């Protein structure tokens, strides 16, 4: 480690009215518009978690990787551990409310290299998440077109829809954070109302429902692996993938009022609300399965669409599928906002090739416009393999999880290592900080290993899990780039706020 920052030099937390001064104390000149309230900050993380995106998109994966028992009990268990991760991360976010979020925390608590690698992992996860979310929305749009007009989804057609969705999200994010906040606030009620509508319709309309025993105990293994414990562990990907992206609240903290409290609360609230609503959604879908094998092999390409079709008929299925697609669009839009702020912040500290361009901010909307375009462009490239491989979408979701999940644990671990040298912000876990923090770190270490393991047997080019390869490639590239950029990269704690403010001022266009 080339530098270790003494964490006891961090300034104390500001008052609720003094967030701009707090940001300056952390070394950054405010250039983004602080127009987001506490509800909007919660809404962006809730929208990114998006149970109507993650649960619905990976439901088919869950049907064959453990089946109903693993989906339901896995959701309950994973949600509890993710809540621990969220609470521990919220505590550190309260002390360091910046757009850089995870990597800035790691830099301040552990040093430049900790921050560097955390930033690259976080960036990989965020960009992978855009690709995964918007490609999932494209798949569901293809299923909608199939139900409505009989159009058969093809990889090429799905990819075109995906590119249109990316373009839509880029344009929406160029109008400023106020529109982003409004859309996320609408998204919260759309998600909750959508879950209530779907679960209610599936509970009332069908004549036949699966038994409680089936929903909570039926184990299905279509993976090719013989060990049921291994299969159940792999099946946790459905829940763990869905429960990601809640660092969005931290990335939008420089645009949030009273961010030292609001961003921390936004993370925790987004997790527990999603936990409850997601369990209801998974249970509602599983009780309503009419034909298990038919659902897995749906002509729509989307098993939840087949459940809706079998249970509610064509008209009802089409209407509810549209509800899901709109929710997924809200989710992708929120993820573009979070990822672009990460690109902006990382470039502000000279970590990316071409940082001088990516950190530029529009003087009209106070939005990092080049960072928005870079985020959607990289997401488009990540999804290109979907044109050639049916398993590519699963690889993209795994890349998202393998990148972003370890990045959550690093600042938590460094905060635990710092002990009493860490100065908490106004939102703190108090005496629960260490037990919750260590639970979070151990859980993340476990799932990081799990999600590098192969998910199908026998192993082929199509069935291989590329998450470990993606992780290795990013770490190698980050290491190589470190030796190029290490002289210029640094947070204000290393370089001083005066120099940083001058560089940021040059980036305002």
104 pLDDT higher than 80:
yes
- Rounded CA separation 430/428 (Å): 5
Are 177 and 33 in contact by the 8 Å Cβ rule? The answer is yes
| DSSP symbol at 3 | -
What are 277-288's pLDDT values in tens digits? 999 999 999 999
The count of other CB atoms within 10 Å of the CB of residue 189 is 10
Nearest to 61 by CA among 380, 316, 390: 390
pLDDT-derived band at 83 (thresholds 50, 70, 90) equals very high
List CB contacts of 388: < 8 A, sequence separation 6 or more: 155
Give the three-class secondary structure for 221.
strand
List CB contacts of 337: < 8 A, sequence separation 6 or more: 44, 173, 177, 180, 248, 251, 252
pLDDT-derived band at 464 (thresholds 50, 70, 90) equals confident
Higher pLDDT, 42 or 467: 42
- Rounded CA separation 242/230 (Å): 20
Backbone Cα Rg of the chain: 22
What are 44-81's pLDDT values in tens digits? 999 999 999 889 988 999 999 999 999 999 999 999 99
The pLDDT score that the predictor gives to residue 4 is: 43
- Rounded CA separation 28/501 (Å): 6
Higher pLDDT, 118 or 13: 118
Mean pLDDT of 245-266: 95
List CB contacts of 363: < 8 A, sequence separation 6 or more: 508, 509
First to last CA, the chain: 36
Are 129 and 244 in contact by the 8 Å Cβ rule? The answer is yes
Mean pLDDT of 240-250: 92
Share of the chain above pLDDT 70, in %: 91
Mean pLDDT of 482-496: 77
For the chain, give the mean pLDDT.
89
- Based on the number of CB atoms within 10 Å of its own CB, is 72 exposed (0-12), middle (13-18) or buried (19 or more)? buried
- Rounded CA separation 247/266 (Å): 9
What are 348-361's pLDDT values in tens digits? 999 999 999 999 99
The pLDDT score that the predictor gives to residue 449 is: 87
The pLDDT score that the predictor gives to residue 176 is: 87
Nearest to 96 by CA among 28, 42, 45, 143: 28
Are 28 and 493 in contact by the 8 Å Cβ rule? The answer is no
- Rounded CA separation 383/393 (Å): 7
pLDDT-derived band at 219 (thresholds 50, 70, 90) equals very high
The pLDDT score that the predictor gives to residue 497 is: 41
What are 168-177's pLDDT values in tens digits? 999 999 998 8
What are 394-451's pLDDT values in tens digits? 666 666 777 888 999 999 999 999 998 999 999 999 999 999 999 999 999 998 888 7
Are 351 and 119 in contact by the 8 Å Cβ rule? The answer is yes
Q: Which residues of 134-162 are buried (b: 16+ CB within 10 A; e: fewer)?
A: bbbbbbbbbbbbbbeeeeebeeeebbebb
What are 302-344's pLDDT values in tens digits? 899 999 999 999 999 999 999 999 999 999 999 999 999 999 9
* DSSP H or E run through 220: strand 220-221
Higher pLDDT, 5 or 474: 474
Q: Which residue has the tokens 């998974």?
A: 282
509 pLDDT higher than 50:
no
Mean pLDDT of 369-382: 96
The pLDDT score that the predictor gives to residue 3 is: 46
pLDDT-derived band at 491 (thresholds 50, 70, 90) equals confident
Q: Which of 74-78, 237-241, 494-498, 500-504 has the highest mean pLDDT?
A: 74-78
E strands of 63-153, at which residues?
65-66
List CB contacts of 318: < 8 A, sequence separation 6 or more: 144, 147, 148
What are 330-340's pLDDT values in tens digits? 999 999 999 99
């Amino acid at each position: 480690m080339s530098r270790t920052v003494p964490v006891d030099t961090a300034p104390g937390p500001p008052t609720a009215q003094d967030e701009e001064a707090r940001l300056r104390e952390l070394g950054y000149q405010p250039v983004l518009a602080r127009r987001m309230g506490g509800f909007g900050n919660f809404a962006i993380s809730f929208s990114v978690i998006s149970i109507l995106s993650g649960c619905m998109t990976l439901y088919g994966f869950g049907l064959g990787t453990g089946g109903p028992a693993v989906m339901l009990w896995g959701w309950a268990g994973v949600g509890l551990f993710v809540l621990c991760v969220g609470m521990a991360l919220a505590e550190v976010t309260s002390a360091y409310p910046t757009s850089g979020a995870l990597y800035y925390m790691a830099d301040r608590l552990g040093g430049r290299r900790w921050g560097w690698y955390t930033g690259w992992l976080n960036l990989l996860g965020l960009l992978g998440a855009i690709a995964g979310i918007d490609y999932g929305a494209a798949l569901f749009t293809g299923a909608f077109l199939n139900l409505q007009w009989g159009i058969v989804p093809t990889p090429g057609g799905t990819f075109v829809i995906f590119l249109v969705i990316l373009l839509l999200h880029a344009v929406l994010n160029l109008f400023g954070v106020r529109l982003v906040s409004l859309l996320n606030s609408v998204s919260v009620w759309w998600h909750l109302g959508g879950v209530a509508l779907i679960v209610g319709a599936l509970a009332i309309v069908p004549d036949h429902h699966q038994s409680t025993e089936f929903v909570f105990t039926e184990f299905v293994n279509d993976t090719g692996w013989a060990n049921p414990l291994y299969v159940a562990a792999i099946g946790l990907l459905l829940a763990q993938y869905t429960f990601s992206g809640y660092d969005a609240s931290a990335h939008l903290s420089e645009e949030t009022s009273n961010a030292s409290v609001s961003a921390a609360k936004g993370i925790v609230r987004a997790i527990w609300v999603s936990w409850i609503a997601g369990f209801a959604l998974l249970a509602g879908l599983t009780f309503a399965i009419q034909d298990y094998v038919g659902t897995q092999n749906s002509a729509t390409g989307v098993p939840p669409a087949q459940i809706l079709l079998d249970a509610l008929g064509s008209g009802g299925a089409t209407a509810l599928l549209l509800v899901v697609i709109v929710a997924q669009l809200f989710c992708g839009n929120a993820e573009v906002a979070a990822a672009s702020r990460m690109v902006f912040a990382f470039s502000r500290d000279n970590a990316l090739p071409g940082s001088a361009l990516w950190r530029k901010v529009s003087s009209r909307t106070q939005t990092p416009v080049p960072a928005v375009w870079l985020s959607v462009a990289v997401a488009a490239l990540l999804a290109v393999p979907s044109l050639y491989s049916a398993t590519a979408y699963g690889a993209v979701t795994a890349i998202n999880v393998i990148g972003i999940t370890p990045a959550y644990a690093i600042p938590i671990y460094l905060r635990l290592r710092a002990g009493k040298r860490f100065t908490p912000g106004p939102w703190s876990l108090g005496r629960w900080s260490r037990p919750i923090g260590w639970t979070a770190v151990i859980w993340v270490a476990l799932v990081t290993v799990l999600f590098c393991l192969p998910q199908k047997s026998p192993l082929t080019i199509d069935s291989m899990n590329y998450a470990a390869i993606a992780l290795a490639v990013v770490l190698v590239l980050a290491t190589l780039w470190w030796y190029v950029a290490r002289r210029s990269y640094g947070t204000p704690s290393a370089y001083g706020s005066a120099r940083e403010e001058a560089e940021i001022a040059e980036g305002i266009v």
